[in-house]
Amino acid sequence: MSVAFTKENDRDGTEANLQDRPISPHPNLVTAEGMAALEAALAAAKAAVQEARDAGEDAMGLALARAGRDARYYSARHASAELVGPPPADGRVHFGSRVTFDRDDGRRQTFRIVGEDEAEPAEGTISYVSPVARALMGKEVGDVAVVAGGEVEIVAIG
């Protein structure tokens, strides 16, 4: 390919034109653990920006672009975070509750309802805006909710 058809700064194809990470339109509710994780992620992103700059990354460098994108995201999420205290002990499912339920196929599952950034279903946490969490909110032990077309019965709330 002729040099005439390449950008001057296209050194090795690693220059980044990364789009910012999308910000959820939902309120940014977080647990105390979620707030700590946001603060740690923001600090790590800021450190990565500085590390990339110290390594001589220019404004087009991939490492600096990724670190900058993460720093902007975590800065925005930290600024919009709404810390929610422990759920009330009123026997109902709330943000922060750990809920155990039985599915109609015989499976028993337990999830803690948390903020969007701290949700990791494989680790037992789901976002409060997820369909499962929305179906369970406000319910009590013994109540039945419809989740993904099937019924679940709440057996414990903690």
pLDDT at 4: 42
pLDDT at 6: 40
Q: Is 109 helix (H, G, I), strand (E, B) or coil?
A: strand
pLDDT in tens, 68-110: 999 999 999 999 999 999 999 999 999 999 999 999 999 999 9
Find the mean pLDDT for residues 45-49.
93
pLDDT at 60: 63
Q: What percent of the chain has pLDDT over 90?
A: 75
Which two three-digit tokens encode residue 96?
Answer: 């922060």
CA 20 vs CA 16, 23, 37, 67, 138: distances in Å: 12, 9, 20, 11, 35
Q: Answer for the pair 21, 69: CB distance below 8 angstroms, yes or no.
A: yes
Q: What is the DSSP letter of 86?
A: P
Weakest mean pLDDT among 3-17, 50-64, 120-134: 3-17
CA 53 vs CA 21, 75, 109, 127: distances in Å: 21, 19, 46, 35
pLDDT at 59: 58
Q: How far apart are CA 41 and CA 38, in angstroms?
A: 5
